[in-house]
Amino acid sequence: MERMTPLIETRGLTIGHNRKPLIGGIDLRLCRGQVLCLLGPNGAGKTTLFRTLLGLIPPVGGEVALLGQPLSALSRTDIARRLGHVPQALATPFAFSALDIVLMGASARLGPFARPGKPERARAMAALARLGIADLAQAEITRLSGGQRQLVLIARALAQDAAAIVMDEPTASLDFANRLQVACAIRALADAGTAIVLSTHDPDQAARLGDAAILLNRDGVIATGPIQETLTEARLTRLYRVPVTRSLGTDGRMHFH
């Protein structure tokens, strides 16, 4: 695994807005099938990091590489073919169907004047089926539950056919059942080979889903590394600035209080 080309790699990355550095020294390395969890309080720069990885804002310093190629050398379409995006929520005033939304994911692989045809439609349906929501294809997204909408957005990222996907708090504001459903879907994707970076407020979920973690707060990067070594009591206490205790459940999983 170490010898493979990392799908996402950052070297000495400094992120920020309008050339004002927010966090520096971010070194990430994400390979096929890995889930990297981003933990940190609100305002720590998680979304800024995502937007930098997606090339939506330029890095203040350092470098991002997607599949070994520097981000600065890639066009919008090139980036979209390498890295998918699942936003926190849908932000459109129009009542698209689930299938409409998923079809949009095909755009990066279509010519500028092309519209999605039969193959794209088949791929979109496959993506929906893979997440177990094929029956919702024609449903209006406004009538779907929060979890279903999140699954639709993940299906869109799948239809984009990118090797890696970044997900901005995919389970925030979901109820328990929906959260479970989305988390299972994410793990299944990773097990099938997609590399995933996701942000979460829930260390338990990170421990369950993640292979690696990065802890960010206003002071900068608190820790990076494999999940077991990174999610320690001391580091989480430092991260959230409240005492955190870790216990091992009967299932062998970590739990945080």
Partner 1 sequence: MDERALNTALVGALLAVLILGAAIGPFALSPARIAAVLTGDRSDSQAVTVLLNIRLPRVLAAAIVGAALAAAGAAYQTTFRNPLVSPDILGVSAGAGFGAVLGLLLGLPVVAIQMLGFGMGLLTVALVIALTLALRGAGQVLIMVLCGIAIGALAGAGISLVKLLADPEQQLPAITFWLMGSLAGVKRADLAAALPALLIGLAPLLALRWRIGLLAMGDDEARAMGVDAGRLRLLVIACATLMTAAAVAMAGVIGWVGLMVPHMARLLTGPRFDRMLPAAILIGAGFMVLVDTAARTVATLEVPLGILTAVLGAPIFVLLLARGARPWSE
Q: Which is nearer to partner 1, 155 or 207 (CB)?
A: 155
Q: Does 81 bind partner 1 (CB under 8 A)?
A: yes
Based on the shown chain and the rule CB under 8 A, indicate whether residue 85 belongs to the binding site for partner 1.
Answer: yes
Asked if 54 interacts with partner 1 (CB under 8 A), we say: yes
Q: How far apart are CA 105 and CA 121, in angstroms?
A: 11
| Angle at which helices 146-159 and 118-130 cross, to 10° | 130
Between 96 and 256, whose beta carbon lies closer to partner 1?
96
Residue range at the interface with partner 1 (CB under 8 A); choices 5-13, 24-32, 112-120, 239-247: 112-120
Q: How many CA atoms lie within 13 A of 245 on its CB side?
A: 4
Alpha carbon distances (Å) from 140 to 51, 123, 181: 28, 19, 20
One of 1, 2, 112, 242 touching partner 1 (CB under 8 A): 112
Interface segment toward partner 1; rule CB under 8 A; list 6-14, 22-30, 108-116, 233-241:
108-116
Q: Which residue of 69, 96, 184, 246 would you call a contact of partner 1, by CB under 8 A?
A: 96
Reference 212, options 33, 6, 49, 35; nearest CA is 35
Q: Does 105 bind partner 1 (CB under 8 A)?
A: yes
Q: Is 33 among the residues that bind partner 1 (CB under 8 A)? A: no
Q: In DSSP terms, which residues pair with 140 in a beta bridge?
A: 97
Nearer to partner 1, 81 or 208 (CB): 81
Q: How far is CA 113 from CA 109, 118, 120, in A?
A: 12, 16, 15
With beta carbons less than 8 A apart as the criterion, state whether 106 and 123 touch: yes
Q: Does 160 bind partner 1 (CB under 8 A)?
A: yes
Neighbouring CB atoms inside 10 A of 243's CB total 9
- 142 in contact with partner 1 (CB under 8 A): yes
E strand or H helix that includes residue 178: helix 176-191
- Contacts with partner 1 by CB under 8 A lie at 51, 54-56, 76-77, 79-81, 83-85, 87, 90-97, 100, 104-105, 107-108, 110, 112-116, 142, 160
